[in-house]
């Protein structure tokens, strides 16, 4: 069993739809990262959160430490949101991350 599981693996949405991507993990963590990777390969950090909820524009991330689960929501999705979204956790106190397999999102106009 992978230590970080994401669902769904692929997601196609129409522009304007509300999107939810889920991440479950099995290790104890101090924080969880949501990352975005565009087709060119570059990775952008969207959120790092250790409790509750964070919001940046149309993106919302939530985490439930007790249930070891996090969700990334995109409101009013747009074609430019098309990317791979990756959940990652640091299993220890140092610098490594364990990654989920990613969710490939395609938003159609």
Partner 1 sequence: KAGVTQTPRYLIKTRGQQVTLSCSPISGHRSVSWYQQTPGQGLQFLFEYFSETQRNKGNFPGRFSGRQFSNSRSEMNVSTLELGDSALYLCASSLVGSSSYEQYFGPGTRLTVT
CB atoms within 10 A of CB 89: 23
Q: Rank residues 29 and 107 by Cβ distance to partner 1 and give the closer one.
A: 29
- Min. distance of Cβ 99 from partner 1 in angstroms? 4
Query: Least distance from C-beta 86 to partner 1, angstroms?
Result: 7
- Given the structure tokens 């140092």, which residue do they identify? 94
Residues near partner 1, by CB under 8 A: 29-31, 33, 35, 40-45, 48, 86, 88, 90, 92-102
Task: Tell me if 75 sits within 8 A of 17, measured CB to CB.
Answer: no
Within 8 A by CB and 6+ apart from 6, the residues are: 21, 22, 23, 24, 85, 86, 87, 100, 101, 102, 103
Nearer CB in complex with partner 1: 56/109: 56
Closest to partner 1 by CB, 66 or 94: 94
Distance of closest approach, residue 14 Cβ to partner 1, in angstroms:
28
């Amino acid at each position: 069993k992978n230590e970080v599981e994401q669902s769904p693996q692929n997601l196609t949405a129409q522009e304007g739809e509300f999107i939810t991507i889920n991440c479950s993990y099995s290790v104890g963590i101090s924080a969880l990262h949501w990352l975005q990777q565009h087709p060119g390969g570059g990775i952008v950090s969207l959120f790092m959160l250790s409790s509750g909820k964070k919001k940046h524009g149309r993106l919302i991330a939530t985490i439930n430490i007790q249930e070891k689960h996090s969700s990334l929501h995109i409101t009013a999705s747009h074609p430019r949101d098309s990317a791979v979204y990756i959940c990652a956790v640091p299993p220890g106190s140092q610098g490594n991350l364990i990654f989920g397999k990613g969710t490939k999102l395609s938003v159609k106009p």
